[in-house]
Amino acid sequence: MAVKIVHLYPEEMNLYGDKGNVICLKKRLEARNYKVDVINVGMGERIPDFDILFIGGGQDKEMSIVRRDVRRKAEELSYYIHSGKTVLAICGGYQLLGEYYKTASAQVIELSGALPFFTEGAKQRMIGNVVFESPFGKIVGFENHSGKTYIANEFCPLGCVISGFGNNGEDGTEGVLYKNTFGTYAHGPVLPKNPIFADEIIKRALQVNELPNIDDKFENLCHNSLVSRFT
């Protein structure tokens, strides 16, 4: 049986090399002798059953293109997320999982509503390298967003900001972690820079506590160097 990775909106939502996260997951699985199928799902297509669902980032233009389609996919997304399927959503993809995006001109764009958070546009862009502490150690990435995301009090952020802006530049939170759904503003792509984070996603998808070791010498050197540089 192959591990199924669904890449949602691969054409529309793929800023700053976010597709590299799919490549990273595939390579790390194959290094452990798993067969991997990557399934691209675009506009108007149903989301098939999966082991990992990935959604990358997009600018306002791309968000406006997919927003109606993501509303049509809202029931599917909500079902998969609340049933504990493994999901990674980056920046605009992260915002799509929330209830709405309120633009700087006060236009309210309804989104999937799969999770109880919302995003408000701001005049100031939050751009630069970000480092945050997560349950899996320090995570480093690159953020570039004007949206400020506010998660519900009963939901856990993915981490606490050490350097950078995170969800909104105000409360010190970064991303969201709900069951096996990970939302984050960290581009980069984020997973090659953070092998422990990548493996946490894989473990949850495979429902295992441990994975066979692979040689992460250079990945760890990169990660540690970037964390030291940006903190």
Write the single-letter amino acid at 106.
A
- Among 86, 106, 108, which residue's Cα sits nearest to residue 182? 86
| Active-site residue, 145 included | no
Active site residue 187: yes
Q: Using alpha carbons, list the distances in angstroms from residue 207 to 45, 170, 180, 186, 204.
A: 27, 35, 10, 25, 5
Per annotation, catalytic residue among 24, 91, 145, 223:
91
Catalytic residue among 7, 24, 145, 187: 187
Please choose, from the candidates 187, 137, 191, 181, the residue with its C-alpha nearest in 3D space to the C-alpha of residue 162: 137
Q: What does the alpha-carbon distance between residue 70 and residue 63 come to, in Å, rounded to a whole number? A: 10
Catalytic residues: 91, 187
